[in-house]
Structure 1
Amino acid sequence: MRYLLLADIHGNWPAMEAVLQTTPKYDRVIFLGDAVGYYPDADRVLSWLRSEGAIGVMGNHDAWLLHLDDIDPEEQKGPIFEILRWQSERLSLENRAYLGSLPWTREVDGALLVHGSACDPLQYVDDLDTARAHFGCTSARWTLHGHTHLAGTFLALEGPNGQWVRYQRQVHGTELFLAPKARALVNPGSVGQPRDRMPGAAYAVWDSDDGSVQFFRVEFDLERILGRILQEGFPVWLYERLLVGR
């Protein structure tokens, strides 16, 4: 089975559309959290995920949007929560229900899906120590996650002197084949807002049959997303981040 891996779309429909125009053939969509936040077209992103029957998990921005009324108003100051409230007011009932149905974790074809880590779905896994802790919290051979907006893979292997963990940054065109006794924590990167200093929408395709992951990065229409940002009165720094991928 070939799965299209998508994470951290964050309402950036032009980026998502560019992915769909370039992605190789796939059978199902796996969504690793954060459909909403940052960019204006969260409702459109959710409509597409729902129409695809995407196998998804909850992200932190998704959870914040759904529970805005439960968050201390003092903690909601600033543009991030202003954007989430704006998006919340514009979500269709069907898309809100779909978002609310997403679990924090789930398993698909033997892989663990989570936004952050197996230890904590809201934890950023961005160093070897955190990755090592993650592998201690799950026995899954494959873990597919997002949250850091960094395309890369942590690999773990049990050796005579304990667990060995290393990190591989992934760029467009790289492919990972998992060794028989290794385990992997795979981040396809962010569709909507990359933070690895490589502009463009990041995604991956996981083949559960041959144990491989292909990584991709595709350009999208930056002027189009700038137009949407200006049209809806969103902060221009959201566009500026996309120019440099950070």
Structure 2
Amino acid sequence: MRYLLLADIHGNLPALEAVLRHAEVRGFDRVLFLGDAVGYYPDGDAVLSHLRALGAEGVLGNHDAWLLTLDALQGGGYVFEILRWQRARLSPENRAYLAALPWALRPEGADWVAVHGSPCDPLVYVDELEAAREAFACTPARWVFHGHTHLAGAFLALDGPKGPWVRYQAFTEAEQELVVAPKARALVNPGSVGQPRDGVPLAGYAIWDTDAACVEAYRVPFDLERVRARLAAAGFPEGLYERLRLGR
């Protein structure tokens, strides 16, 4: 089975379309969405339509949850203003799809779990070794798939005499393969489709091959000027384009 792993799309339709074209050539059987379809860029509704059309399984991200609970939230600056704009343009079907997503997903009998942040807490950022150790301790699953940090890479754990040894591998190249040894565990972030923050201004995604016990990680260019035009048309901050241009 080959799972297409998508995280942190954030309404960036040109990036998602580029990723799907790239992934189609490499082949996948199912789609696993790791949260944050909406927020930042204007096309949250179109992103959700794509996820529904793909039959994507998935989990709720913090921006998704904020959009669904905006009436109970205060402040938030331009982030919440964008979410209000997106909510007003969300189809009933896409809103229902979003509202039905769980915070965590682990099918019965599966050796994997999906969550937006950490299996300890879906809103926690797993972006350093100690947070990764805590995440591994919170689940017996061999494979943990997450997003939230917008950093493409994987933490690998192997049991040692005084606890697990944990190391990190970033996914910053155009194409990388990570093979996970039989006794190792992996906490994998495919990177952000819509707003990478690791200094690489390319959309990130991955394909998990369950038979080969490996993750194929990819970075894909997309039409930045098309995103810029969408931001201008919607009246969104120009700084959101600059973040994409710099990969920050």
Name the TM-score, length of structure 1 as normaliser: 0.97
Rounded to whole Å, the distance in 2 between the matches of 1:22 and 1:167 is: 26
1:33-182 paired onto structure 2 within 5 Å: 33-71=35-73, 73=74, 75-76=75-76, 78-108=77-107, 109-171=110-172, 172-182=174-184
Q: Which residue identity does 2:158 align to in structure 1?
A: L
Equivalence for 1:21:
21
Deviation of 1:110 after TM superposition, in Å, equals: 2.1
Helix, strand or coil: the match of 2:194?
Answer: coil
Q: Hey, what's the Cα distance between the residues in 2 that align with 1:6 and 1:170?
A: 14
Moved more, 190-199 or 166-175: 166-175
**Structure 1 portions without partners, runs of 5+:** none
Structure 2 counterpart SS, 1:120: coil
User: 1:224 aligned to 2:226?
Assistant: yes
Of all paired residues, the percent bearing the same amino acid is: 65
Cα drift, residue 22 of structure 1:
1.1
Q: 1:174 is paired with a residue of what secondary structure?
A: strand
CA shift for structure 1 position 161: 2.7
Deviating beyond 4 angstroms after TM superposition, the runs of 4 or more aligned structure 1 residues are none
In 2, Cα distance between equivalents of 1:216 and 1:102? 26
SS of the residue aligned with 2:175? Answer: coil
Give the structure-2-normalised TM-score: 0.96
Aligned-partner SS, 2:237 = coil
Residue type of the alignment partner of 2:206: A
1:194 matched to which residue of 2? 196
- RMSD over equivalenced CA pairs, Å: 0.8
Q: Which residue of 2 aligns with 1:6?
A: 6
Output the CA distance in 1 between the equivalents of 2:171 and 2:225.
26
Provide the C-alpha distance between the structure 1 equivalents of 2:138 and 2:242, rounded to a whole number of angstroms: 37
The DSSP-based 3-state class of the residue aligned with 2:193 is coil
